Structure 1
Amino acid sequence: MRFYINKAHLINNIDYPTRYQSENLLKSAGIVFAIILIFLLLFKPFGVYDPELRMHYFFICFLHALSPALILLVYFGGLNYIRKRKYQSENWTLFEEYLQIGVILLLAGLSSFFMRDLIYNNTNNWSWHYLWEEIRNCFVAGIFFYFFLRLSSFYFESKKGSPFVLQFIQLNIKSKTTDAASKLYVNTQVKQDNFSLDIDQLLFVKADGNYIELTKTNGNQITTEVKRISLTQFEAQITDYPNFFRCHRTYLVNMFKVEKVSGNSQGYLLSFHETTIKVPVSRKQIESFNNYYQQLRNKYIA
């Protein structure tokens, strides 16, 4: 049977993982150090010949745990600096991630090899045999730890409703699939300020005191109109359109127009195809947003 690799999944852009970002890198390195140290102390995964040891086994485990943690810290610290100066972008792919992890495991294997004289009293420490053994052991253990940490991260992020776990698929549905017409006449407190609106063109609404800003799209042309009506009053008049969601105190978004979700448990950012403007989802609204999105998806796609 032919082995299949989903190449598109590997090369599609994803958001740069928070675990590698500078502000979280020390924490990630600390987690790697702690997990490896505990694992080595509890299980002794690779054969150890006690008469060859130059120091207590605890200190050997400490060094083997510290080495990859420091390499992770320094390597991604340097990578973040280069990316910030050269690319000015947070885009990332799974292929890049696997490649960088492979380089780190190789460096960790080389580090373990160079530490052999410090740890073991063996005349063959500098042999090709032990070079291959240290690199092989790092890849075997490293791949296990990497996927263990990724699964753990997936679990905890899913508990928080992270958009990196939420499989967001653009709804991309027009209002003709709903029970309401696309043309809407909006009543304001002042009759001469009443206006009509093509609801299909509306991306999002932003509150500005007793006014609202309507951001609309007509093809690739983005327009913004200011109307004298509060966001709460406007929201009360579009209840026939279930695709609009109050994602923030000052924002109302057309769920059918959202192309991408990014962010973390502190809040989401919603992106659109037609504009670079991002609409926030407040921390309090994350769970409601996730549930509302699933309801729309089940109703109009399933």
Structure 2
Amino acid sequence: MRFYINNEHLQQQIEYPSRYESPNLFKSTVVVFSTLLLFLLLFTPFGVYEPEHKMNYFFICALHAFSPALLFYLYFSTLNYFRRKKQLLPNWSLLREYLHMSLFLILAGIASFLMRDLIYNNAYNWSLRYLWEEIRNCFVAGIFFYFFLRVVSFYFQTKQGSPFVLQFQPLKNEEGEKVVSSPLFITTQVKQDDFSLNIDDLLFVKADGNYIELTKSANNKIETELKRISLSQFETQISAYPHFFRCHRTYLINMFKVEKVTGNSQGYVLSFIGTEEKIPVSRKQLDNFNNCYQQLRKHHIA
């Protein structure tokens, strides 16, 4: 039987999960600590040999829960610092998440191994056997909790309509239909930078400081232009055309040009014909994106 992995799904860009962001990191750490402590107290996993214990079992469980929780907080605090420093915050994927979680679980196993002398009277505390056991146990428990929490999170988000991507169908204009009159004249703060734009050809717009980068498809050819105007100013001037949607802090898209939507409840990724560039839909804009799509689709069907 052939084993198949969807590499595209693993590597596609999604928004950085809110559970790892600095404002939510302490809450996530408390959830990790509380869940692990409850699990250890209720199920006493991996075997318990009381004569080796140097302290009460409750305190042993508390240490085994506190150690990965503290490590979780420090690991993702450090990761957030370097991502902000290198301006990589929008750059995230499921593959990156799985790799970071694997590294975190290895570190958690090593930390549990280093605590053994504090907790147990055992002449072999520093053996490779116990190092392997601690790392293995962290992986077994960590993978279980990680996917359990992901499934629970996915369930509540699907009740809010997040998995809309499964039902997405590209929006198409009727043959010969024109949504707007072209060209559209765009004014800027400097008169000599004003320009005309065939808005029907526009795929998406990317903010670049006080400039915008226009990506267009004309005669089956992708063209990119840089114009001196902010994205907010440009968006205001085309606000009469509801098929243009601000899907992200730095992106404005033409909904009629979206060919494919992928992603999950943490954010969507949009694809367009003729270009390999992927445009993210931020998590905060998921509901607005869904509503915009549904309204345009109803109008198109009608």
1:3-44 Cα shifts (integer Å, max 9, x gaps):
111222222222211111122211111111111111111111
Query: CA offset at residue 156 of structure 1?
Result: 2.5
Aligned to 1:91: 91
1:50 aligns with 2:50: yes
Please state how far the C-alpha of 1:93 moved relative to its aligned partner. 1.8
Equivalent residue number for residue 20 of structure 1: 20
Q: Distance in 2 between matches of 1:281 and 1:88?
A: 15
The amino acid that maps onto 2:39 is: F
Q: Return the offset for 1:99.
A: 1.0
Residues 20-73 of structure 1 show CA distances to partners (whole Å, capped at 9, x for unaligned) of: 112221111111111111111111122001121111111111111111111111
Contact (CA 8 Å) 1:182, 1:199: kept in 2 or not?
no
Separation of aligned partners in 1, 2:7 and 2:291: 31
Residue 117 of structure 1 corresponds to: 117
Structure-2 change in CA distance of 1:31 and 1:279 (3 Å): closer
Q: Structure 1 residues 297, 65: closer, same or farther in 2, change over 3 A? A: farther
Q: What residue number does 1:257 align with? A: 257
**Residue 173 of structure 2: aligned partner:** 175
Contact 1:174/1:200 (<8 A) preserved:
no
Tell me, in whole angstroms, the C-alpha distance in 1 between the residues paired with 2:288 and 2:43: 44
Contact 2:15 2:282 in 1 (8 A): no
The residue type paired with residue 122 of structure 1 is N
1:2 aligns with 2:15: no
- Native 8 Å contact 1:175 1:199 kept in 2: no
Q: Distance in 1 between matches of 2:202 and 2:60?
A: 62
Instruction: Give 1:113 deviation, angstroms.
Output: 0.9
What secondary structure does 1:5 align onto? coil
Equivalent residue letter for 2:41: L
**Whole-Å Cα distance in 2 between the matches of residues 124 and 293 of structure 1?**
62
Corresponding residue for residue 29 of structure 2: 29
Higher relative contact order (CA 8 A, sep 6+): 2
SS at match of 2:159: helix
Percent identical: 50
Aligned counterparts of 2:87 and 2:244: Cα–Cα separation in 1: 35
Describe how 1:52-71 pairs up with structure 2 within 5 A.
52-71=52-71
* Alpha-carbon distance between aligned partners in 1 of 2:23 and 2:138, rounded to the nearest angstrom: 27
Cα distance in 2, alignment partners of residues 122 and 151 from structure 1? 39
Is the contact made by 1:175 and 1:200 (CA closer than 8 Å) also made in structure 2? no
| Distance (Å, rounded) in 1 between the aligned partners of 2:200 and 2:165 | 25
Measured at CA, do residues 244 and 136 of structure 1 come closer, stay the same or move farther in structure 2, by a change above 3 Å? same
User: Which 5+ residue runs of structure 2 have no aligned equivalent?
Assistant: 183-196, 205-213
Which residue identity lines up with residue 8 of structure 2 in the other structure?
A: A
Count of residues in correspondence between the two structures: 263
1:118 and 1:25 map into 2 onto residues whose CA distance is: 28
Q: Distance in 2 between the 1:269 and 1:98 partners?
A: 18
The residue type paired with residue 10 of structure 1 is: L
Q: Which moved more, 1:102-111 or 1:83-92?
A: 83-92
For residue 212 of structure 1, what is the aligned residue in structure 2?
none
Q: Which runs of 5+ in 1 are unaligned?
A: 186-196, 205-214, 236-242
1:82-141 CA-partner distances (Å, limit 9, x unpaired): 122224442112221111111111111111111111111222211222111111111111
TM-score, scaled relative to structure 1: 0.67
Q: Which structure has the bigger radius of gyration? A: 1
State the distance in 2 between where 1:124 and 1:282 align: 49
Which position in structure 2 is the counterpart of 1:81?
A: 81
